[in-house]
Amino acid sequence: MEENLAKLWDENKNHQLTASEMLIYLFLTYQWKKNNYQKFTYSDYVIAKELKLSRQTIIKSKKKLRKVHLLEFTHCSGLATAYSFPEFREVKKVVTKTDSKKSVEFEIKKDTPTKDEFIAYLKLSPYYKENLLPDILEKYDELERDEWITESGKIYDWKKEARRIISSVMLSNFRKNN
């Protein structure tokens, strides 16, 4: 939790977060702690009511927090939003000679596969065919470019997404050939 607060202050320096964005982040961090640091769901309506903010402010703030990698969420129309936080780990300490204060940088812990891991996993599938590889690699590159965030939200289970991709590519190839 301390890492989340340190990252919040660092991101505020870089991206000038609004008071509402910071309040929402702290509120969601508190809810995450209450849920034993596990993914949890919370309604925008309930957040707006508890924080006395408009629903539009909640939605706009969540998007900004996701954009600066402070928050991950999946929203399904009509359902409560599922929240989690990126994992942070300290990567290095920098001490400047002009200032005795230490500044700590954080990096988001990567929980996504390398291209080789992704392909190796798909090769275990009974549906994998070598002729599908170029289309699969194209989909992988799209995921990497979009930082593993789709229209549905952050991808938490890359293996599930890999299985979805192989099915999609197979269907697309079938349609091309028939």
For 2-84, CATH number? 1.10.10
- 178 residues of the chain, pLDDT tens digit each: 567 677 777 777 777 889 999 999 999 989 988 888 778 888 999 999 999 999 999 999 999 888 888 888 887 667 788 888 776 543 333 334 444 454 444 444 456 788 988 888 888 888 888 999 999 999 999 988 888 888 777 787 788 888 889 889 988 888 888 7
Q: Which two tokens stand for residue 82?
A: 């599922």
**Predicted pLDDT at 99:** 45
**Predicted pLDDT at 89:** 40
pTM here is 0.51
Which amino acid is it at 96? T
Which amino acid is it at 69? H
Rounded to 10°, the helix 115-123/133-145 angle is 140
**Predicted pLDDT at 24:** 94
DSSP string, the chain: -HHHHHHHHHHHHHH---HHHHHHHHHHHHHHHHTTTS-EEE-HHHHHHHHT--HHHHHHHHHHHHHTTS-EEE--TTSPEEEE---EEEEEEEE-SS--SEEEEEEEPP-S--HHHHHHHHHTSTT--GGGHHHHHHHHHHHHHTTTEETTEE-S-HHHHHHHHHHHHHHHHHHHH-
Q: Give residue 60's Cα distance to chain centre.
A: 16
Sorted by where each begins, the domain ranges of the chain are: 2-84, 115-177
